[in-house]
Amino acid sequence: MTATGIGAAVRRKEDQRFVTGTGRYVDDLTRPGQAYAYFLRSPHAHANIRSIDAAPAKARPGVLAVLTGDDLAADKVGGLICGWMIHSKDGTPMKAGPHPALAQGKVRYVGDHVAMVVAETLAQAKDAAEAIVVDYEVLPAVVDAGEAQASGVPIHEVAPDNTVFRWHLGDKAAVDQAFAGAKHVTKLDLTNNRLVPNPIEPRAAIGEYDSGTDSFTLDTPSQNPHVARLVLSAFIGIAPEHKLRVIAPDVGGGFGSKIFIYAEETVCVWAAKKVGRPVKWTCDRTEAFLCDAHGRDHVTHAEMAVGEDGKILAIRVSTIANLGAYLSTFASSVPTYLYAPLLSGQYDIPAIYCEVDGVYTNTAPVDAYRGAGRPEATFVVERLVEVTARQIGMDPAKFRKRNYIKKFPHQTPVIMTYDAGDYHASLAKALELADYAGFGRRKRESARQGKLRGIGFSSYIEACGIAPSQAVGSLGAGVGLWESAEVRVNPTGSIEVLTGSHTHGQGHETTFAQLVSDRLGVPIDSVTVVHGDTDKVQFGMGTYGSRSGAVGMSAIYKAIDKVIAKGKKVAAYVMEASEGDIEFKDGKFTVAGTDKSAAFGDVALQAYIAHKFSGQELEPGLKEGAFYDPTNFTFPAGVHICEVEVDPDTGIVAITKWTAVDDFGVLINPMIVEGQVHGGVAQGVGQALHEGAVYDKSGQLVTASYMDYQMPRAVDLPSLTVGMTTTPCPSNPLGVKGCGEAGAIAAPAAVINAITDALGHEDIAMPATPQAVWRAAQRARMPMAAE
């Protein structure tokens, strides 16, 4: 390991510009002649649009255009798409209703896009939007997924019972048989609360049209600009792919919400040509609450069957997933193939069956949010495991140990083949770091002060490094999930790495450079990472699903292999030796068995001046590209232990200690990895204790601002104890697994397991707000009061 290579805690290169205010985000950009867009949004959760009178708005000062769904239809602009086909149990394809970028005849949630105003200033656009007259026929709204199925209020014609799919996975007969012979059955009803993503930088877009070249540019904070370009051209039909450039510059957080191709960005590109001016839109925070794709929102009944010896026999799960008013870009995959295949957790479970109904409601679309399906699965499994251990009277750590998978590879009954792991090692380290042995003493100390102390585990697993293209194709994905890279060595030996991954907080500019520094033996400062521009990077699949390390860096690794191979050819000419005798190590090409050597930079220069070889013998230059398609998912796993102290007088939950022991495989930069754990745990704690999107019966979002939606704050979190164990991932050359989502996946179950341990009963839902916990603490006391 060098000071800047793999495994070094290198300080983030990008932070200099971020902390000095010189980062460049879309809202920082101003194009010559730029006009401003504002969207008139539906105030109703469900309504037919009888008519839209835009004339008064068009007459307002500064207005350049007022555009509606009719204009989109007239220009034959297609609707937004969902790129993952799910089939129901009966073999029928999912029922995807139309998703026009501007409403066509109907609005389906509060915030739905009714019209776009483009004006000289944002204030003028807002003034004009107020002058648009919309005649709505208000319809009954349904916000709860279970109620929507039985409501008789169809949101889309194609799905009269609002059910998009009735999907299942696993062997139902085997599961039923296992339950019939079980010694003990645990039953739980669980809600996985709806979350609003809240990246610090809201969405934004600048659409531009160049009439000279008949080409478009879209600047937008996207996690996957090439996928955005592909969807905008191939499906929505805004522009041919080669006539559309998508740029995602510095991006201030995504958490999944910036994967998707939304209405506003789409319409800005289209409108730029219509008005002949660059069109800029920046989402305000209220719009983000209303219209960014939300996360989670599952209602689940889960059962676990256990045998005589405390071995888990089977799991049976039935989930209703609220998908919102429209199918967002990857909405259908999240509660299906990103969820049910993780229901085996870290455990050797012979039989699993899961059925999932995906349901339309009059709420914002729901799609992937940090963890995407895997937090929901972990919550089900780890709540079942904890409660089962309590019900059969076994220590929860011991119950886990008894059921952990011990041999790898391990084939689960739900698709996945776990390749490597050591779950006992993570648990042992976590128990030690958490001082599990001393918990009883701490609980008694708390009790003396009138506080209830509890401890909760979460032995999570995730499937990351998303994903082998062939495998996801067979499950319904509309795209492949490989990654691309290009390593361009300049004549001076400095290097540009072009990657299809996209960094929006992950620190790729540092970690990817570490890989290059490590393998080519060059200073880290001579490496620049280029990403987020479809004109610079040929193609890429973007960043989500903890895939940039395992997939994105593996592509760079392969391209570096090619650079070294080509460098050896050049070095052979330079040092007048046979190519087979050239070795490359520590930034130097050497001739085996001699003291002859040539530095990497000298070889790069020779490759470009091409004086030592002829064009017939070798192509000049030193630039190589690679596409890497993984052979398996990666399986990061670990144990998080949460210890809480509940104040029964107020219901306030204080997290007194958090222990995270994760196995992410090989670590590229342990400091950045630890930061990812911190961020993930913060979001997971947010889900468990604070966050929850609430719609009222009429479909109004009650929690549409920070006045009512609580994000986790520094005071809500303890200092985390982070430990690592390592089993290298066998399926990629670096042995990395991915770390971006782990905390958000692990945390909710750990928190709720700790609170229920403190309370002595299982009756608490997320978010466990002070009021909810106080009420649950009252219930816990009641039997004592009756005595």
Distance CA(180)–CA(174), nearest Å, equals 10
Q: CB-wise, 665 or 712, nearer to another protein?
A: 712
Q: CB-wise, 158 or 706, nearer to another protein?
A: 706
Distance CA(114)–CA(69), nearest Å, equals 7
Q: Residue 452 CB, nearest distance to another protein (Å)?
A: 15
Q: CB-wise, 691 or 741, nearer to another protein?
A: 691
Q: Residue 707 CB, nearest distance to another protein (Å)?
A: 4
Q: CB-wise, 402 or 690, nearer to another protein?
A: 690
Q: Which residue has the tokens 């994967």?
A: 259
Q: Residue 712 CB, nearest distance to another protein (Å)?
A: 10
Q: How buried is 569 (Cβ within 10 angstroms: 0-12 exposed, 13-18 middle, 19+ buried)?
A: middle
Supply 237's token pair.
């039909």
Q: Residue 713 CB, nearest distance to another protein (Å)?
A: 9
Residue 28 CB: number of other CB atoms within 10 A?
Answer: 12
**Inter-residue contact 179 to 83 (CB < 8 Å):** no
Q: CB-wise, 541 or 689, nearer to another protein?
A: 689
Q: For the residues of 553-612, what is the DSSP string, one character each? A: IHHHHHHHHHHHHHHHHHHHHHTT--GGGEEEETTEEEETTSS-EEEHHHHHHHHHH--S
Q: Which residue has the tokens 């089962």?
A: 388
| Chain residues that interact with another protein, rule: CB under 8 A | 123, 126, 286, 649-651, 690, 694, 702-703, 706-710, 769-771, 774-775
Instruction: Determine the 3-state secondary structure of 580 from DSSP.
Output: helix
Q: CB-wise, 87 or 775, nearer to another protein?
A: 775
Q: Which sign, positive or negative, has the C-alpha torsion 376, 380, 383, 385?
A: negative
Q: Residue 287 CB, nearest distance to another protein (Å)?
A: 12
Q: CB-wise, 285 or 406, nearer to another protein?
A: 285
Distance CA(568)–CA(316), nearest Å, equals 57
Q: Residue 689 CB, nearest distance to another protein (Å)?
A: 9
Q: Residue 29 CB, nearest distance to another protein (Å)?
A: 23
Distance CA(187)–CA(148), nearest Å, equals 25
Q: CB-wise, 479 or 694, nearer to another protein?
A: 694
**Inter-residue contact 395 to 431 (CB < 8 Å):** no
Q: Which sign, positive or negative, has the C-alpha torsion 63, 69, 72, 74?
A: negative
Type of residue found at 558: K
Instruction: Determine the 3-state secondary structure of 235 from DSSP.
Output: helix
Q: CB-wise, 3 or 133, nearer to another protein?
A: 133
Distance CA(354)–CA(338), nearest Å, equals 12
Q: CB-wise, 498 or 773, nearer to another protein?
A: 773
- Helices 423-433 and 396-403, interaxial angle, to 10°? 160
Q: CB-wise, 396 or 712, nearer to another protein?
A: 712
Q: CB-wise, 218 or 685, nearer to another protein?
A: 685
Q: Residue 472 CB, nearest distance to another protein (Å)?
A: 38
Q: Which sign, positive or negative, has the C-alpha torsion 504, 505, 507, 509?
A: positive
Q: Residue 359 CB, nearest distance to another protein (Å)?
A: 23
Distance CA(609)–CA(490), nearest Å, equals 11
Q: Residue 272 CB, nearest distance to another protein (Å)?
A: 26
- Residue of 425, 288, 301 whose CA lies nearest to 711: 288
User: Which ranges in 9-68 belong to alpha helices (H)?
Assistant: 15-19, 55-58
Distance CA(376)–CA(513), nearest Å, equals 34
Distance CA(733)–CA(726), nearest Å, equals 15
**Inter-residue contact 553 to 487 (CB < 8 Å):** no
Residue 783 CB: number of other CB atoms within 10 A?
Answer: 10
Q: Which residue has the tokens 């990246």?
A: 199
Q: Residue 705 CB, nearest distance to another protein (Å)?
A: 8
Q: CB-wise, 275 or 655, nearer to another protein?
A: 655
Q: CB-wise, 671 or 694, nearer to another protein?
A: 694
Q: Residue 45 CB, nearest distance to another protein (Å)?
A: 18
Residue 351 CB: number of other CB atoms within 10 A?
Answer: 22
Q: For the residues of 101-150, what is the DSSP string, one character each? A: SS-SSEE-STT-EEEEEEESSHHHHHHHHHH-EEEEEE-----SHHHHHH
Distance CA(286)–CA(43), nearest Å, equals 13
Q: Residue 322 CB, nearest distance to another protein (Å)?
A: 18
Q: Residue 20 CB, nearest distance to another protein (Å)?
A: 21
